[in-house]
Amino acid sequence: MNQQQQITRQTFDDVMAPNYAPAAMIPVRGEGSRVWDQQGKEYIDFAGGIAVNCLGHCHPALVGALQQQGNQLWHVSNVYTNEPALALAQQLIDATFAEKVFFANSGAEANEAALKLARRYALERHGEGKDQIIACNHGFHGRTFFTVSVGGQAAYSDGFGPKPGAIDHIDYNDLAALEQAMSERTCAVIIEPLQGEGGVIPASDEYLRGIRELCDKHNALLIFDEVQTGVGRTGHLFAYMDSPVVPDILTSAKSLGGGFPIAAMLTSSEIAASLKVGTHGSTYGGNPLACAVASAVLKEVNTPAMMANVKDLESYIRTRLDAMNEKYQVFAEVRGKGALLGAVMNDAYQGRARDFLTAAVAEGLMMLVAGPNVLRFAPALNISPAELEQGMDALERAVAKVSASS
């Protein structure tokens, strides 16, 4: 037996910490939006590694960038800078509101940096006591203790001892609640412009406009967590570009590396000045391999043709879901933007999103959920029409089977 044959799903239970419950099948190869498991079964990938694989699997431009950089320079730490990191930072600055960039490895680390920066900036500009961070219930900002405490889901943050203080939560899209919670003590408001884990819920323009006005009124920073919505997923390079506001700080990860771990925090020169030498850091942040791949991702994604493709795939998915719903009547609504969509279970199927997910896998489709009541779609931005059609056909078979058994 070779090594590949010896590794099974049971191996996970034998050797890994039990904080995950992965599917029974083990993917071993991917190409575009197709994945094959150990038994050679083919799947269409609508999960994208949780909105990470924005160009699918093994995209030639990303493979080429990784191979080229792998033959040049792997890692030097931030004792030195490196050319790929500086080139990527310039790309991000040229494409966004930002003037300065900080690199990390994950969305949690980017948000950790953003929150620390907001606190430090407030301290330097306004003195002690301006430390309140306001976030939203059902938000998700990462798994470090600071970011999971800021995220508004007690199931993720409870049970680890005393939490960081001066963090308050309000309901998403509730401007009146935010107005009541804010004061001169508020240093930052952090928000996902489209809640991902919380159920694929978009923020209204009125809400975003109101947050911006309240932040300006109280000298608080507005942080957009675009870890899931960024790098083309909503049909714009970043979701803020399709909103009436510009944030003070923006965080990006997931799709930024197209599958290679990298994250970035973007902000202005004025705000970034509070991150003086020694105040924050990351051993791997700005790694040449990661930055070379992310640079290739941006070149591929940030084009009018790719953004048009994202809007076309959204239209196709919505059309197919509407047709399915006419037959099987399982969804209450479809919400989201671009390649980040959520099909919400109706009253008859409350709590059963995972049943549809499991049935989809059996039909050859990898999907996600966003809580117990939402099927989440996060396919590659460049998914082909044939792959998209095959995936939606598989989903329809899954929906038919679940509805028939109910």
pLDDT of res. 4: 52
Instruction: Please name the residue ranges forming H helices in 28-71.
Output: 48-51, 60-70
Q: Say if residues 75 and 261 touch (Cβ distance below 8 Å).
A: no
Active site residue 225: yes
356 labelled ligand-binding:
no
Q: Which residues contact 80 (CB under 8 A, 6 or more apart)?
A: none
State how far the Cα of 354 lies from the Cα of 383, in Å rounded to an integer: 24
349: left (phi over 0), alpha (psi -120 to 50) or beta: alpha
Nearest-5° angle of CA 90, CA 268, CA 196? 85
CB 258 within 8 A of CB 59: yes
Give dist(CA 296, CA 274) in Å, integer: 30
Tokens of 237: 């390079």
Q: Which of 224, 248, 254, 377 is catalytic?
A: 254
> Any binding-site annotation on 227?
yes
**Torsion sign across C-alpha atoms 85, 107, 186, 159:** negative
Amino acid of residue 146: F
Which distant-in-sequence residues (6+ apart) come within 8 Å of 264 by Cβ? 88, 92, 101, 102, 103, 104, 110, 251, 252, 253, 256
User: Is residue 108 annotated as involved in ligand binding?
Assistant: yes
DSSP 137: B
Q: Which residue among the candidates 102, 103, 225, 238 is catalytic per the annotation? A: 225
What parts of the chain have a pLDDT lower than 70?
Answer: 1-5
Domains of the chain listed by start with CATH number:
3-59+304-404 (3.90.1150.10), 73-301 (3.40.640.10)
Query: What is the distance between the alpha carbons of residues 76 and 74, in angstroms, rounded to a whole number?
Result: 7
Query: How far is the C-alpha of 225 from the C-alpha of 98, rounded, in Å?
Result: 14
The Cα 46–Cα 366 span in angstroms is 6
Q: Which helix (H) or strand (E) holds 390?
A: helix 385-404
CB atoms within 10 A of CB 6: 8
Residues 6+ apart with CB under 8 A from 65: 292, 293, 295, 296
Q: Which of 46, 102, 103, 140 is catalytic?
A: 140
Between CA 3 and CA 16 the distance in angstroms is: 17
| Cβ–Cβ under 8 Å, residues 146 and 115 | yes
The response to whether 226 counts as a known ligand-binding position is yes
As a whole number of angstroms, the distance between CA 4 and CA 315 comes to 40
The reported pLDDT for the residue numbered 5 is: 58
- Residue 283 counted as an annotated binding residue: yes
Q: Which amino acid belongs to residue 360?
A: A
Q: What's the pLDDT at 75?
A: 95
Query: Is 288 buried (19+), middle (13-18) or exposed (0-12) by CB count in 10 A?
Result: buried
Residue 171 contacts residue 199 (beta carbons within 8 Å):
no
Handedness of CA 85, 97, 209, 122 (dihedral sign): positive
Catalytic-residue membership of 254: yes
Q: List strands edge to edge, sheet with 368-369.
A: 331-337, 340-345, 374-377, 368-369
